[in-house]
Amino acid sequence: MESGLVFFLQLLGSGIAVGCLYALIALGFVLIFKATEIVNFAQGEVIMLSAFICYFLVTTFHIPFFPALVITCIAAALLGVLTERLVLRPMLGEPVFAVVMVTIGLSIFFRSMAGILFGHNNLVFPNPFPSETLKLGGIVLSQTQIWIMVSTFVLITAFFIFFKYSRIGLAMRGTADDQRVALLMGVSVKRVFSLIWALSFATAAVAGIFLANVMVINLGLAFVAISAFPAIVLGGLESIPGAIIGGLAIGIIENLAGGYLDQMIGGGIKDVTPFVVLFLLLMFRPYGLFGKKEIERV
């Protein structure tokens, strides 16, 4: 193959892998926002906590990687249920501003808990996958990258089937659409909310565990949530397909920009690109590519 094309595909491939992580993080935000209209600022801390939990399951308790991943997701889901029940439900009907402040408080609480429980050191996740790379016609991907893509694909397909075909999934979409009417249909909105927090936290956990595989684990891992913001804004806060496409798009764009422009201008482009995209987007389509301009039909 021509080397220019290979270079492009290589950037594309690793861009998709990064994009999958952005997509998962964005999905965590969007699930909660779509159903409850809350932007959960503690989402990054859940990512970080999950990375720690999985790390200790694997190292201290010698649990193999995939069972550890499942256990971590279950733990995160339980944390989601508890958070909704103890922190958010009492806030029902309070002004949005107050609820947002509560989630910021929650993020601080989670971070200090993590500091107390897991310490402030940098930890390195023992690579669960063989270190041989995979070569697909010239482009080289690590097994971690492959697993990130496979897991994201499986998770998103599962979500799709769940929301499209299951009774509870339908009830959740109805609740997101019109909570009051959903109540009249006999949907227990309380149960829908706690399930949504569980799903969102579990998704954040998957993101956190894979991030732990490509970054060092420390309290700062919580801040990767911010780097997913361009993806969220690109997709629109209320759109699940938007979160996925937005995440992938930002991953690919930043990788391409890094690959081509860094050589010319020298370092740093990769980290800035998503925010440049974000800035342009906010100028031209502030509600995101897939977000809705509110159409009110009276």
Partner 1 sequence: MLQVNNIEVVYNKVILVLKGISLEIQDGGVVALLGANGAGKTTTLRAISGILDVENGELEGGQIDFMGRPIHNLDPDEIVKLGISMVPEGRRVFRDLTVLENLLIGAHTRMDKEGIRADLEMIIRYFPVLKERKGQLAIYLSGGEQQMLVIGRALISRPKLMMLDEPSLGLAPLLVTEIFNILRSINGEQRTGILLVEQNARIALNFARYGYIMENGKIMLDGPSEELVKNEDVKEFYLGVKDDLAKKSYAEVKHYKRRKRWLS
Which residues of the chain form contacts with partner 1 (CB under 8 A)?
93, 167, 170-171, 173-174, 176-188, 297
For residue 76, what are the contacts with CB-CB under 8 A and spacing of at least 6?
Answer: 46, 49, 50, 53, 201, 202, 204, 205
Rounded to 10 degrees, what is the CA torsion of 57, 14, 272, 279?
-100
- Name the residue type at position 72: T
Q: How far is the CB of 182 from partner 1 (least distance, A)?
A: 7
Cβ proximity to partner 1, 90 vs 115, nearer residue = 90
Fill in the amino acid letter for 157: T
Query: Using H for helix, E for strand and C for coil, what is the string for 173-230?
Result: HHHHHCHHHHHHCCCCHHHHHHHHHHHHHHHHHHHHHHHHHHCCECHHHHHHHHHCHH
Angle, helices 240-265 vs 143-165, to 10°: value is: 160
Shortest distance (Å) from residue 54 CB to partner 1: 35
Q: Which is nearer to partner 1, 120 or 292 (CB)?
A: 292
- Torsion angles phi and psi, residue 139, rounded to 5: -95, 145
Residue 248 beta carbon to partner 1: minimum distance, rounded to whole angstroms:
23
Closer residue to partner 1 (CB): 76 or 243: 243
Query: Which residue, 120 or 190, has its beta carbon nearer to partner 1?
Result: 190
What distance in Å separates the CA atoms of residue 37 and residue 177, rounded to the nearest whole number?
11
Pick 187 or 224: Cβ nearer partner 1: 187
- Shortest separation between residue 271's beta carbon and partner 1, angstroms: 36
Q: Tell the smallest beta-carbon distance from residue 238 to partner 1 (Å).
A: 10
Indicate the residue among 120 and 191 with the shorter CB distance to partner 1. Answer: 191
Least Å distance, CB 192 to partner 1, is: 11
Query: Tokens at residue 219, please?
Result: 């309290």
